[in-house]
Amino acid sequence: AKSVVKRISIYPSFGQTCWFEHILRNPFSRAERVSIHINVSSSDNADKENGRLRVVTSAEEWSHLRQKISPEHGKPGAGPVEGDMIDASGTAPAVMLMANESIRIPFAYLSLEPPSHDLRWGPRQRLNQRRRQGEESKGNDEGKNQDADEKESPHTVTTVKFVAAGGFVLAILEIETFPRACVVDRTFRFYQPEGEMMKRCVRILPPRPGTHAAVSSMLTNGFGSSASEQSGLYVHCVPTGRGSDVSLSWRPSESIPGAHEVRIKYARVGAFPSVGEFYVLVFKDRFCASLAELWYCVVHSRLRADVNGVTGQAAGVELVVRGDRVPRIVRAYAGLATSDGSKEQTTKDAAFDPPSAFRLVPHAHNKFAIHFRPRHPGNSRLHVHLVDVDTQDLVAAWLLNAVAAAPTITKTYDVEIPCGQAITKRIPYRNPWNRARTFTLVSSDETLVRARDPVRPFVNIGPNAVEYLRLYFAPVHRQGLVQCYLFLNDENDQSEETFLLRLLVA
């Protein structure tokens, strides 16, 4: 009978909890025990849909949903939440109704299935994609296809049956689910050499100053956590299955009170150019009802290259790439990388041989060299990309790991600098060679000291002659002692002298 069937529509998105209350009435003049059966009646992914819609059996969670989350359909009841109203001990939730009694049954829907491609691209983007692929017809068919794209939305119909003890169906609730595109708050792209395990740490700041937020790591199949009764943040990882094997852990931050650090461990990055994807959901409550942030994480595989050298000197390594079926004109580029202590390198520290575009021979192993000059002792990472000049395609990509030893200091200078003022100084230097030499001034931190003329940071010195090294010291707005290196490099970018500059800011 159509009178017992009711249909509603909900519009959830990935990681967002939708909830509503359904009014169930007992039409009999006697008490009845009614069981609630949920099944997916029309869906190509019925197995995935099972478990998304559930009956809220916890009175605490039901009360939390009423206070914090707006219902997706209808209005919540005005009366108090009745504890232990729903019995969840059996195979299906059940409720006891007195004669002609009407009660509200709470339902919650949460999808932890990664969004499909259609939910990442809207109708207009899919239309543009079809145009590029040549599948779109001309003329009036364009508007028709656009309307069809807007109307088409993969949806499921979930049927909820309320069955009395004698097998009589009291009511049927049909729930049409129309998934909507999710909003990604933060996108992280991680780069790791192929075959290695990736470990990263992401810091979550407290919601407001002085609040110590609790972070709880959830299991993949869990919908809640009882680790903390106070309000906090709860982290959940959703792998996409695209080469992703990831685990999360957390710990309180040692540097920022109230903040927490989410540690991400990604097992065994695939061979280049494989890509792994996963999502991280950060909830505000342990019932996973309020989504605070949604992270989209991508792990890019890279080829590995290693180079060892001395700080301030250029060290080279050859990179090998195999040509494909067609000849290409390619060029190598270096991306910015960070070193220990979060000190930045610059693209000026990397030079290629050949320095311009070159031809990539098909079906052959092609070589080119990179010379990298680290400015600080320790480990540095540099991104090297080989790009097709004509098509702008990425042919190969390396992650260059450079290990730099501390330089040998030949002289130490103490320089007094007024606080907040820029000054210039000059240092005498004698050429110990019997021939004229050209030396380049390289600073480990150009924000502190550099050559006075940045366009011509070199000096020509005759045989056994003395010349001044003219330096510019940038203003420092904090008093104290600051140290940096000044390298005097020769024509081959090897350090002839290394000066330690001790800047006394007063």
Domain-located, residue 306: no
**Same structural domain, 42 and 161:** yes
Residues of the domain holding 374: 311-405
Last residue of one domain, picked from the residues 405, 437, 460? 405
**Same structural domain, 281 and 330:** no
- Judged against a pLDDT cut of 80, whether residue 400 lies above it is answered with yes
Domain-located, residue 64: yes
| pLDDT 10s digits, 380-398 | 889 999 999 999 999 999 9
- Judged against a pLDDT cut of 70, whether residue 134 lies above it is answered with no
Domain-located, residue 495: yes
Domain-located, residue 453: yes
Q: Can you give the pLDDT at residue 149?
A: 46
**Same structural domain, 173 and 319:** no
- Judged against a pLDDT cut of 60, whether residue 228 lies above it is answered with no
**Same structural domain, 29 and 172:** yes
| pLDDT 10s digits, 67-91 | 989 998 888 888 888 888 899 888 8
Rounded distance between C-alpha atoms, residue 32 and residue 25, angstroms: 11
Q: Decide if 72 contacts 90 (C-beta within 8 A).
A: no
Work out the number of other CB atoms within 10 angstroms of the CB of residue 25: 13
- Judged against a pLDDT cut of 50, whether residue 111 lies above it is answered with yes
**Whose structure tokens read 């009036």?**
140
Q: How confident is the model at residue 104 (pLDDT cuts 50, 70, 90)?
A: very high
Q: Can you give the pLDDT at residue 211?
A: 44
Mean pLDDT of 16-21: 92
**Same structural domain, 393 and 254:** no
Last residue of one domain, picked from the residues 301, 322, 348? 301
Number of domains in the chain: 5
CATH number for the domain harbouring residue 213: 2.60.40
Joined tokens for residue 272: 């280049």
| pLDDT 10s digits, 116-131 | 765 555 554 554 555 5
Lowest-confidence segment of 93-107, 344-358, 456-470, 481-495 by average pLDDT: 344-358
| pLDDT 10s digits, 338-352 | 544 445 556 678 899
| pLDDT 10s digits, 169-210 | 999 999 998 888 888 999 999 999 998 999 999 988 876 654
> What is the DSSP code string of 338-380?
BBTTSPBP-GGGEEEESSS-EEE-TTSEEEEEEEE--SSSEEE
| Residue 44 CA: distances (Å) to CA of 40, 108, 115, 157 | 10, 22, 15, 11
**Same structural domain, 378 and 396:** yes
**Same structural domain, 172 and 30:** yes
**Same structural domain, 27 and 159:** yes
**Same structural domain, 480 and 426:** yes
**Counting every residue, how long is the chain?**
506
- Judged against a pLDDT cut of 70, whether residue 303 lies above it is answered with yes
**Same structural domain, 66 and 171:** yes
